[in-house]
Structure 1
Amino acid sequence: MESQYLLDSNVVIGYLAGRLPDSGMKTVSAIVDRIPHISVISQIEVLRFNDTPENEAILNDFVEMSVIHPLSSDIVLRVIALCKQRKIKIPDAIIAATALVENMILVTRNIDDFKNITGLEFLNPWEN
């Protein structure tokens, strides 16, 4: 079975703005071409800013074409467990729990926020 990837908010914004290195753009493009997956928290983070109408349209289009993973009871329970085990921000815990419960690889620039979470696989498109 082919790996599934969960895109963190920083990756979505960096990708749509063309701010990733060439290799990262290629990697994320391949993921997006297969249908991007994001957490509901990434949907909120990506769409919360007031931006130009053009940029808002780009962000809305991206979110609309994405699979958005809601807060299921399994994800909520995993968030609670993660927060009890370590100091972690709730949005990061939601993203990590979503990747863990859905058995996905987290694509993020913020490796330090997630590096000590057992079982979580991640990919940083800003690195080789």
Structure 2
Amino acid sequence: MNDKFLIDTNVIIYYFNGIVEDNRIDTILKESFNISIITKIEFLSWHKLRTDEMLKSQALAFISHATVYELTDEIADRVIEIRQKYKIKTPDAIIGATALVHGFDIVTNNVNDFHRLDLDIVTVNLKEEK
């Protein structure tokens, strides 16, 4: 495991909802807040932001601190390889390919898709529902 991480959309939404119970995420977000362009799109189109202007403003401010990795030809080629080999949705394949191309570990709770991509995966603990 290295100290460069790509954060998956589900972790950002969990974190933003305040349900992450894991101090590592604060350190990761402070030191290595990297996301794929697809995560930016997914997070900022999250249904809760549609009607709550204050929440939307907070989300925009939050995501402005991220380093966003655009979709390049190299990443697109990797996505094609991934999709030809595995049944993975395109957004997850883009996120996975971005991590592979840039040498990131991935922070996600979507282990099922990403474990097949030979990525080091960091999961986060979530607060238990009461």
Q: TM-score, normalised by structure 1?
A: 0.90
2: CA distance between counterparts of 1:9 and 1:41?
A: 8
Instruction: Provide runs of 4+ in structure 1 moved above 6 Å.
Output: none
Matched ranges for 1:5-16 at <5 A:
5-16=5-16
The answer for the alignment partner of 1:72 in structure 2 is 72
**Structure 1 counterpart of 2:41:** 44
Q: In structure 2, list runs of 5 or more residues that go unmatched.
A: none
CA contact (8 A) 2:3 2:32 kept: no
Alpha-carbon distance in structure 1 between the residues aligned to 2:71 and 2:100: 13
In structure 2, the CA distance between the partners of 1:51 and 1:101, relative to structure 1 (3 Å rule), is farther
* Structure-2 separation of matches of 1:35 and 1:103: 13
Using the TM superposition, give the Cα deviation of residue 75 of structure 1 relative to its aligned residue in structure 2, in angstroms: 0.5
The one-letter code of the counterpart of 2:116 is N
Q: Deviations over 1:83-115 (max 9, x none)?
A: 011111000000000000010010001101211
Aligned counterparts of 1:51 and 1:14: Cα–Cα separation in 2? 19
Distance 1:92 1:34, change over 3 A: same
Q: Which amino acid aligns with 1:61?
A: A
**Structure 1 vs Structure 2 CA RMSD:** 1.3
Q: Matched residues in 2 for 1:117 and 1:35: separation?
A: 21
Aligned-partner Cα distance in 1 for 2:117–2:51: 34
Where do 5+ consecutive residues of structure 1 fail to align? none
Whole-Å separation in 1 of the counterparts to 2:122 and 2:32: 17
Paired residue for 1:56? 56
Alpha-carbon deviations, 1:4-50, whole Å to 9, x = none? Answer: 111101111111211012xx2x1110011124111000000000131
- SS of match in other structure, 2:71: coil
| Amino acid of the structure 2 residue aligned with 1:44 | I
Q: Where do 1:87-102 residues align within 5 Å?
A: 87-102=87-102
Change (3 A) 1:5 1:115: same
